[in-house]
Amino acid sequence: MVFKHQQFYETPPEIEVEFPGRAVLEAAVSDALASSGGIDASDVSVTASGSTITLAGVVLRYEEVTRAEEVARSVEGVTDVRNDITVTGPDQAQRGI
């Protein structure tokens, strides 16, 4: 086998360093939600767009909505969180959601 050096035709390769990769950031937030206390994130989806995270899905208590947002904001690389989680449990009737 012959080893041949890569050629970039006088243009250096571009490496993404400003924002972590989308999948990496989504995985980090998902892992943080799964391992944090105070939230059942089994029905919550995480989507990244740049460094903005969108949380969507359903939880049983209103406190879980705010806890999910806190956890997502605490992950390194996240600059903004859009929270589209809805409450489907008994808290929904109590709070008039």
Among 7, 13, 59, 17, CA closest to 36: 59
Q: Is the pLDDT of residue 30 over 80?
A: yes
Confidence band for 19, pLDDT divided at 50, 70 and 90: low
**Per-residue pLDDT reduced to its tens digit, 34-50:** 999 889 999 999 999 98
Provide the pairing of β-strand 52-59 with 44-49.
antiparallel
- Ordered structural domains, the chain, with CATH: 22-95 (3.30.1340.30)
Query: What backbone phi and psi angles, to 5 degrees, belong to 46?
Result: -120, 125
Residue 12 confidence (pLDDT) = 63
Say what the pTM is.
0.72
